[in-house]
Amino acid sequence: MKKKLLVDLDYVICHPGFLKLVNDFCGTNYEENDFTEYIIDDVIGPQEKINEFYEFYLTQDGYKDAILIEGAKETLKKLSSIYDIYLCSACVMFGAERRSAKLFKDKFEYLMREFEFLDPEKIIFTNSKNIFVADVQIDDRLPNLLGPVKTKLLFEAYHNKNISDEELQENNVKRVKSWKEIEDLLLN
Ligand SMILES: [Mg+2]
């Protein structure tokens, strides 16, 4: 029986188009590394403007301009020979929770378009990612890694650079910075 690998999408496999759409909407040039927190809505403006942004966002496909992270696809494909890969991604948008249906659709279509080796029956869309039992989990948000998984890997991203080694150690989480590192850990 293959081992189970839970893997996140956003900021682990790809950079989604969210920030580009924020920039398009606001006429700004922000880059991911301008931020240290996951939620960046504050830069859009007051709540009214944030609501307007989400109206705009819901007319766009946030995955049209998604950028694959180097090595993600190749390494996942190799891992698929020894792991059952469960793609586990949040689709309910913070701030527009009940209007998130389009994000489920856009994300699913992106996954089907880009990853022919992923099993559509092993795609999990939930914001409650810490409830699963698996052998390995890769995610960029620490709260998602606090469930009963044996090997927990925090993929380095703009918003998690300040999490201390001590905090990671306390939670039995190892930081990884690239898919090369993941390949070395899980395939060798
Ligand atoms: Mg993520």
**59 C-alpha vs ligand 1 centroid, how far in Å?**
22
**pLDDT by residue (tens digit) across 113-137?**
999 999 999 999 999 999 999 999 9
**87 C-alpha vs ligand 1 centroid, how far in Å?**
11
Residue 138 near residue 69 (C-beta atoms within 8 A): no
**pLDDT by residue (tens digit) across 131-161?**
999 999 999 999 999 999 999 999 999 999 9
DSSP annotation of 111: H
Backbone phi, then psi, for 65, in 5-degree steps?
-110, 25
Residue 182 near residue 154 (C-beta atoms within 8 A): no
CA distances from 31 to 20, 22, 27, 91, 162 (A): 9, 10, 13, 22, 17
Q: Tell me the C-alpha distance between 107 and 93, whole Å.
A: 12
**11 C-alpha vs ligand 1 centroid, how far in Å?**
5
What is the SS3 assignment for 173?
strand
Q: Can you list the domains of the chain with their CATH numbers?
A: 3-15+66-187 (3.40.50.1000), 18-57 (no CATH)
pTM of the predicted protein model:
0.96
